[in-house]
Amino acid sequence: DQQVKQNSPSLSVQEGRISILNCDYTNSMFDYFLWYKKYPAEGPTFLISISSIKDKNEDGRFTVFLNKSAKHLSLHIVPSQPGDSAVYFCAVRPAGGSNYKLTFGKGTLLTVNP
Amino acid sequence: ETGVTQSPTHLIKTRGQQVTLRCSSQSGHNTVSWYQQALGQGPQFIFQYYREEENGRGNFPPRFSGLQFPNYSSELNVNALELDDSALYLCASSLANGRADTQYFGPGTRLTVL
């Protein structure tokens, strides 16, 4: 039973436009949410995170939104750049759990076209 | 400062064999976590090692075992390999009690079981 769902396997956007990646989770006990980016032949790299006590966190072109009532988070990238083309994973951590025992979604492949 | 490294890069084994994968932590990191990423899936937490002891385990059978050495490097051992063990194996290093977003992943070892 998947606790973290990324329902869009892929997303294609034009350079300069907004990319919106979505993630749904099932357990309200998760208290920390992260987005990772993964290029081929590399490990995932941390992108941005948000605590359950917030509903928005912004870092440059990247913004993560958390809707706890809907158990939904999203990652906005604006403006999108070709170098953003990668697989994006959302990951969650249960409250009181190990900082490193994360549950990941299946990922969304983002392609940004020049 | 060196990043997380893993060896070998690729490995082919046959069903029933045993395999050992290696991970060198990022300099200064004392905690190592291992993840399995099957094709089309997100990384799944296998276990974590701290102070040379297992410190948390995911839903993996006992034939998945590990070691951590005094220099904080780590090994993942898998016995009696099955076809479903074919996956990318990622290790991630971090500091104990650090934030979840301070976990750094290696590039992974691609294991193919025939």
Asked if the Cβ–Cβ distance from A106 to B105 is below 8 Å, we say no
Measure CB to CB from residue B100 to each of A45, A100, A105 and give the nearest one: A100
Minimal CA separation from B2 to chain A, in Å: 15
Digit-by-digit pLDDT tens for chain A (114 residues) are: 679 999 999 999 999 999 999 999 998 888 899 999 999 989 999 999 999 999 999 999 999 999 999 999 999 999 999 999 999 999 998 877 666 788 999 999 999 999
B55 vs A: CB within 8 A: yes
Q: Cα dist. A83→A17, A89, A109 in Å? A: 13, 16, 13
Select the residue from B74, B99, B102 to test the A interface by mutation, using most A Cβ atoms within 10 A. Answer: B99
Cβ-based neighbour number of residue A28 at 10 Å: 11
Asked if the Cβ–Cβ distance from B56 to A42 is below 8 Å, we say no
Residue bearing tokens 């995911």: B58
B108 neighbors B37 (Cβ within 8 angstroms): yes
pLDDT tens digits, B30-73: 899 999 999 999 999 999 998 899 988 999 999 999 999 998 89
A96 vs B: CB within 8 A: no
